[in-house]
Structure 1
């Protein structure tokens, strides 16, 4: 069964955005010059390449995520080009509360129940899957109990308040630490697995 990974930039107190500061506290807020060191860039690019499916919520997809990386992939002199090409090559599976038509290549939109559809996708052949959010969608995925690995890209900043993906959990989320690495630019990457990930009943694949 394929794994589902969640990868997000977070503050030291696990917020993904500030109430007022937005993403200004990030060493690299996904736009502008790529200010991460080369080792961290390689981790980021290799992690994306290890998956062939990206799960997104409609708000993030429609808010510019796919268009942004499609644009970067076409810029040969941009150092983010390789990462962007991996995003373009991966199939984007976009969840929406109401029927919508995708305007992007290599993208499917769905209104299927989140947990049921993720379980179906996990049983398909291929590489692993990854999600980057946004906040509401990531929180919904966390609450399904279907995330196998959490990849936190931790910025050396404490926000005190902000946007969290860990709201309204039904129970304590107990994770197993897999690795921790400090990178020269100041980022720490923490990787955890959830060995209690719900596997669900066997599903018939059409």
Structure 2
């Protein structure tokens, strides 16, 4: 059975909006404001995660962002992302261009539940805020991996939107990455 892993870059106050500054959000671009050592250490964590993944699961907007950038890149990390099976949740995407991509249409909860049953290993979700909210709300997330960036933005879309009930989590790992990043791993407490 597959394991849904949410992997997000977030500010200290939980903002995930426009980390690269390409969306026009006034406080965007925070991702590139860390030092070289932090970026190198972050990249190593991301490479390792990709090497351990069985598949990627993305919302349409995040899929289009990644599909516009990764196919032309080379190297171990890029080769791995480009070769992984990619599943994109969308009601509008018809012809995915990034190789090994499959569009999941219909009810998100049903489709992701089937995906979990059909795969073994980590199914990693990058970005995809609306999809992440849905997965958390319906208890489909098996692990949260949060790369915390040392910025308080004070505004912007947050990783955790409203939920119908509490979602207890257990911290299972914490480590410093580079000079200023923290990598936190949580798992849901299912029997709480």
State the TM-score bracket (shorter-chain normalisation): 0.7 to 0.9
For the pair 1:163 / 2:157, whether they are aligned, the reply is yes
Whichever structure has more strand as a proportion of its residues is: 2
CA separation of 1:188/1:102 partners in 2, compared to 1, >3 Å: closer, same or farther? Answer: same
What is the SS of the residue equivalent to 1:56? strand
CA separation of 1:99/1:89 partners in 2, compared to 1, >3 Å: closer, same or farther? Answer: closer
What is the SS of the residue equivalent to 1:137? helix
What is the SS of the residue equivalent to 2:73? helix
For the pair 1:20 / 2:22, whether they are aligned, the reply is no
CA separation of 1:46/1:96 partners in 2, compared to 1, >3 Å: closer, same or farther? Answer: same
Shift of 1:129: 0.5
Cross-structure match for 1:77: none
Shift of 1:126: 3.1
TM normalised by structure 2 equals 0.86
Q: Deviations over 1:50-101 (max 9, x none)?
A: 1121001112222x3123111123xxxxxxx322211111111011124622
CA separation of 1:100/1:34 partners in 2, compared to 1, >3 Å: closer, same or farther? Answer: farther
Cross-structure match for 1:72: 73
Q: Tell me if structure 2 keeps the 8 A contact 1:99–1:111.
A: no
Q: Which runs of 4+ in 1 moved over 6 A?
A: none
CA distance in 1, matches of 2:79, 2:37: 19
For the pair 1:114 / 2:114, whether they are aligned, the reply is no
Q: 2:178 aligns with which of 184, 192, 195?
A: 184
Cross-structure match for 1:147: 141
What is the SS of the residue equivalent to 1:3? strand
CA distance in 2, matches of 1:28, 1:148: 30
Q: Tell me if structure 2 keeps the 8 A contact 1:16–1:164.
A: yes
Cross-structure match for 2:47: 45
Cross-structure match for 1:54: 56
CA separation of 1:35/1:112 partners in 2, compared to 1, >3 Å: closer, same or farther? Answer: farther
CA distance in 1, matches of 2:93, 2:44: 37
Aligned residues: 185
Q: Tell me if structure 1 keeps the 8 A contact 2:3–2:120.
A: no
Cross-structure match for 1:3: 3
What is the SS of the residue equivalent to 2:6? strand
CA RMSD of aligned residues (A): 2.2
What is the SS of the residue equivalent to 1:70? coil
Structure 2 residues not aligned, in runs of 5+: 19-24
Shift of 1:40: 3.6
